[in-house]
Amino acid sequence: MVLLVFAVLLALCICGTATADDLSTMGGNDSNLNQSSGDNQLVDPIIGVKVNYEYPDDVINPEISVKDSNGAKINFTKTYDNAFKGYKLSFDYAGAVNGTKFNITVSAPGYTTQSQMIRVFLNPDNVTDTNLYGSATFNMKATSNYKLGREVTKKANQLLNFGTADKILVITTAGVPKLNGSTTEDCIEGILNGSAGKISYGKGNLLMLRQTAVDPVDFAFIVKKGTNLQVVVFRNGSLKPSYIGTISENMTKTQWNTFVKNVTGENAFAFASLANAWAAGAPADVLREAAFHGHVCEGTLGGYTIVQALLQYYPPIQATSGGPGSPGDITSYKIIGVPGGSDDDAVIYFLDATPGKSGYVGFDTTATGATTNMIGFIRWTDTTYKLVTNTDGTQTYEVKTPGTGSLIIMIYDNEANKKAFMTQYGITSWGNLEELRYNTWLIQKIKTNPGSLVNITMELDSLTEEQYYYIVGSATNVTFPTAVNATNKGQTRFLAQEAHGLDLNYIKSLNLPKATRANNTTNSGSLTYDQIKKIGADAANMAKDIFKSELGIDIEKDDRDLSILTSAGYVRINGQTTEATWDGIYDVLGSRLSRSTLLPIHTGIWKPLWFAFVLRGTDGTTLSTVYLRYNPLNGTFFVGNNSAGAQVNDIGPAALNNATTVSDLSKNFIPDGNWFNIQSIANAWRNDPAFDQLLTFLFHDHACPGVQPGFFITDYIQNNYPLNGNQSYFWMASSIYCKDDGLVYLLGVSPGMETYMNQRLTGEETSSEYLPGGTEEGMIVVWDPDTNTGKVAIISFKWPTYNLDGLVTNEAQREAMISAFISLYKGESSPYISEPLSIVTSEEKYITAEEFARIKAGGTNTASALAFVKGLPVRSLSDLLPNQGNTDNGSQNGQNGGQTGESTSNGSQGTYTDNGITVGSVGNSGPAVSAATQTEVTSQVTGEQSNAYEVSKATTKSEDDGISTVLIVLGTVLIGGLLALGFFKSSIFGFLK
């Protein structure tokens, strides 16, 4: 304490030596201190802000906000002053006087946000100047993840010499995986900024492997020099290379073994297969799909050729013809797969027919004659109805046109293709190196003769509704519409039916007529990268002009309140990929995915190329939007407008709560059938969702409440069933809706990897026995190949109860529910939640390999997979491994270090609430699984003590070590602040010179 007092006194003495001129500049003792414009008179404060970045070569327009000392946000004009080498912030503020403080906050992608309280003062050199001036310098510090991206790129360049390379490729797991407590998109931002433009999304030479939050952050930098590929690999977020050397398909087996030994795990083949396919000229969208799947293989390439054949011979039927794209599709594709062939992932990706949108049905039906390299498509046209007025004046619904479809079954002929390859090159043995060369061979076939890789085995037409629902299933009864007061509205037409998938015996028994092929031809475009890039730049510049002309707004580069939603990257124009438009947009607006400001929405490959420019208003809710669609026939843009002719329209919550506005905008402004996709993701983005949430919305192709249970179920599984050693996850879905896309994207499972299957069951069967009002969503299996055993559990979910007062449209209510889930995922409370959601597990059991196979096959002839699991006996792991002793060690609870409790007969054990979430474990199958490591926090929903859903989402605060620490810190701050006053004059008015 004595030392602290002396230190403060010394600081005061030092500052006391400041000249009178210094004090008057600061308004200290000068009469200027008392000059005021009056409490009610508007004053024009001008604050100069200099922003320096830890990496001096970063050229980023920072986001700056201004608030008064009470926290009220202030609108301001921001201009860059070349002489000052900083930004001038000008605004009006009533009642400002000498010494009034304003809170300036500066943020930039890849950097830690900083705030400073800045005082403003009169200019002592000009007594007639009534403005108040202040100045601040922000020395921005890079986030740890951004520094990792920058430094790993720098190291790779030193080792590989990017400047001498013909081409460069980066493959990384960064994005969803968490490092330093956060998702790792900043690593990608660091790579992009550190490469000096050599690496970009639009060049197709940055690939993000789909990984989970708990996976390590790895990087592989590849350079192509002639025919040779060199790679440097960094693992687990380290700057120390784990491997430097060749990754070419023509490496020796010794070199391959060295590569695999040092890289380890599944990423070794992922890096090698992607790198060699890239070198062989695989299209950029095929490489992105392969990164989603996990690697390049014959299934990936075969699935791509299957899609090409499908679109050639059985394209979507359109409501309108002519013009670019196909916004008027009246048919949809349903994929019927046999998980285990990588082609499933490819067709899901290119057709945007994901499981969560009911676009995919698949479990193991090989017992019926199906094979894993076989895939079926139903091109389905749904039932239409007409309203008939009866003689007695009543009205009745009748079927106008019954639903019908074509059923096409294809295979990629892996045996014939592989045999032809081996014969051509005289190959007699098979291994990873041979597979890399085989992939290159397949890529050349795709370029010259893609049809040779695919066989169409069945082409059937006139599929009926009964047959359709037998294959794909229906959780609820199929009914007549309920829109008007018809006497039979809502009455059942078909009973709910569980899915039977690709049951080949059943399909053969139908004796359907042969379908008739179309023969669409795709133009082969010849646009260069620069020409496609210019399409994006032209769209960005056109949007800027429209914002300026209609709203008087100059759109800044790097504006974090601007997002661009687009189909680019998924759709093609004249057979060419469109990711280069991303670079054009970045050049004009500074928007890209790693900044969460360029949002490519998963779209069918045949759809039109469109862009939606969405500007978040200062109120945080207005979303001023410009919509453009590109016409490849003449290189022009269609510009959307509402019925009054306005080209900028709000699509935020206020607009969504007006039925007339919604009808107008969806019909006239965004007329291509993508209104819901755009407005739902734009409004989700408006609430600043976590990066992994945002990527899932984009994969799902829209935001909705339905996809978000997948986030919480994934967290629950990763916390309570962590993987060890060689273990892996498998999910068998029973209740299938949007949340399945969340599980596929975030849990790292997929049909193509044989780790996701679905067997749609009726709502009656999936009604939870242990969670009243809940649904048994599916079964998680943790499979251990080392012991050839697994652990299965049924996971049930119950929706929260919402408070949606004042919201009169479905769109507004849906937006509020999405907002509530985003808040919950961030550990925040939501005014829209009145009762929390719940997650529980039941029927946790150890299973054998035979039982696992039965689950994959959808159960038995008399019981679904769900019912089969319920009928299994409860055993310990030692029961299944009788010769290995008791290796269970209490692991039946499925968690290391978690708090557990005994299960009770009524299935109500272990439930708790936090932030609108109730989680727990219930059931009668033995010791229950604790929901998470338990940390006491205050519930923001109930105001009562409760346990955190997840430790990482709980806000914790450590105890103070004692008053001495506080005083020392306070003393340091005081000394630093007082010493800083001596430098104040030289900086505060610097921008006036």
**DSSP string over 486-538:** -TTTT-EEE--B----S-HHHHHHT-PPBPPP-----------HHHHHHHHHH
% of the chain at pLDDT higher than 70: 83
- Going by C-alpha positions, the residue among 233, 297, 230, 231 that lies closest to residue 265 is 233
- d(C-alpha 637, C-alpha 541), whole Å: 12
- d(C-alpha 752, C-alpha 293), whole Å: 7
* pLDDT of 516 higher than 70: yes
- Going by C-alpha positions, the residue among 791, 796, 823 that lies closest to residue 723 is 791
- In this prediction, residue 894 has a pLDDT band, given cuts at 50, 70 and 90, of very low
Mean pLDDT confidence for 482-508: 94
* pLDDT of 905 higher than 50: no
Name the region of 210 (left: φ>0; alpha: ψ -120 to 50; beta: rest). Answer: beta
More confident residue, 528 or 521: 528
Residue 964 burial (C-beta neighbours within 10 Å; 0-12, 13-18, 19+): exposed
Q: Encode pLDDT of 60-101 as tens digits.
A: 999 999 999 999 999 999 999 999 999 999 999 998 999 999
> What pLDDT, on the 0 to 100 scale, is given for residue 623?
98
Mean pLDDT confidence for 625-636: 96
- d(C-alpha 608, C-alpha 603), whole Å: 9
More confident residue, 858 or 883: 858
> What pLDDT, on the 0 to 100 scale, is given for residue 451?
82
Mean pLDDT confidence for 733-758: 96
* pLDDT of 115 higher than 90: yes
The torsion angles phi and psi of 35, rounded to 5 degrees, stand at -75, 135
- In this prediction, residue 524 has a pLDDT band, given cuts at 50, 70 and 90, of confident
> What pLDDT, on the 0 to 100 scale, is given for residue 22?
32
> What pLDDT, on the 0 to 100 scale, is given for residue 952?
28
* pLDDT of 17 higher than 60: no
Q: Measured between alpha carbons, how far is residue 837 from residues 165, 690, 735, 921 in Å?
A: 53, 19, 17, 14
* pLDDT of 496 higher than 50: yes
More confident residue, 21 or 177: 177
> What pLDDT, on the 0 to 100 scale, is given for residue 975?
43
Q: What is the mean pLDDT of the chain?
A: 86
Strands (E), 161-310: 167-172, 178-179, 182-183, 206-208, 219-225, 228-234, 241-246
* pLDDT of 282 higher than 70: yes
- For 496, residues 6+ apart whose C-beta sits below 8 A from its C-beta are 474, 475, 476, 477, 762, 763, 764
- Going by C-alpha positions, the residue among 977, 668, 992, 807 that lies closest to residue 14 is 977
- H/E element, 757: strand 756-758
Q: How many CB atoms lie within 10 A of CB 392?
A: 6
Residue type, 496: A
* pLDDT of 310 higher than 50: yes
Q: Encode pLDDT of 372-430 as tens digits.
A: 999 999 999 999 999 999 999 999 999 999 999 999 999 988 888 999 999 999 998 89
- d(C-alpha 828, C-alpha 955), whole Å: 10
**Helix, coil or strand: residue 456:** strand
More confident residue, 494 or 961: 494
- d(C-alpha 447, C-alpha 243), whole Å: 33
> What pLDDT, on the 0 to 100 scale, is given for residue 851?
97
More confident residue, 558 or 264: 558
Residue 516 burial (C-beta neighbours within 10 Å; 0-12, 13-18, 19+): exposed
> What pLDDT, on the 0 to 100 scale, is given for residue 697?
97
**Structure token digits, residue 331:** 């048919």
Strands 121-122 and 132-140: antiparallel
- For 449, residues 6+ apart whose C-beta sits below 8 A from its C-beta are none
> What pLDDT, on the 0 to 100 scale, is given for residue 331?
82
* pLDDT of 901 higher than 90: no
For residues 872 and 845, the answer to whether their CB atoms sit within 8 Å is: yes
Lowest-confidence segment of 43-47, 580-584, 910-914 by average pLDDT: 910-914
More confident residue, 558 or 993: 558
Q: How many CB atoms lie within 10 A of CB 961?
A: 8
- Going by C-alpha positions, the residue among 127, 126, 100, 103 that lies closest to residue 115 is 103
Q: Encode pLDDT of 426-455 as tens digits.
A: 998 899 999 999 999 999 999 888 888 899
> What pLDDT, on the 0 to 100 scale, is given for residue 520?
83
**DSSP string over 285-299:** HHHHHHHHHTS--HH
- Going by C-alpha positions, the residue among 345, 222, 346 that lies closest to residue 283 is 346
- In this prediction, residue 991 has a pLDDT band, given cuts at 50, 70 and 90, of low
- d(C-alpha 500, C-alpha 474), whole Å: 11
Residue 320 burial (C-beta neighbours within 10 Å; 0-12, 13-18, 19+): exposed
% of the chain at pLDDT higher than 90: 78
Q: Which H, E and C letters describe 687-753, residue by residue?
A: CCCCHHHHHHHHHHCCCCHHHCHHHHHHHHHHHHCCCCCCCEEEEEECCCCCHHHHHHHHHCCCHHH
* pLDDT of 41 higher than 70: no
- d(C-alpha 843, C-alpha 730), whole Å: 16
* Sign of the four-CA dihedral 732, 735, 736, 740: negative
**Helix, coil or strand: residue 930:** coil
- Going by C-alpha positions, the residue among 101, 206, 123, 222 that lies closest to residue 165 is 222
Mean pLDDT confidence for 647-672: 97
Residue type, 908: S
* pLDDT of 739 higher than 50: yes
* pLDDT of 924 higher than 60: no
- d(C-alpha 217, C-alpha 240), whole Å: 13
Residue 5 burial (C-beta neighbours within 10 Å; 0-12, 13-18, 19+): exposed
For residues 623 and 648, the answer to whether their CB atoms sit within 8 Å is: no
317 DSSP assignment: P
> What pLDDT, on the 0 to 100 scale, is given for residue 96?
92
More confident residue, 875 or 23: 875
> What pLDDT, on the 0 to 100 scale, is given for residue 284?
97
Mean pLDDT confidence for 688-702: 97
- Going by C-alpha positions, the residue among 835, 807, 833 that lies closest to residue 822 is 833
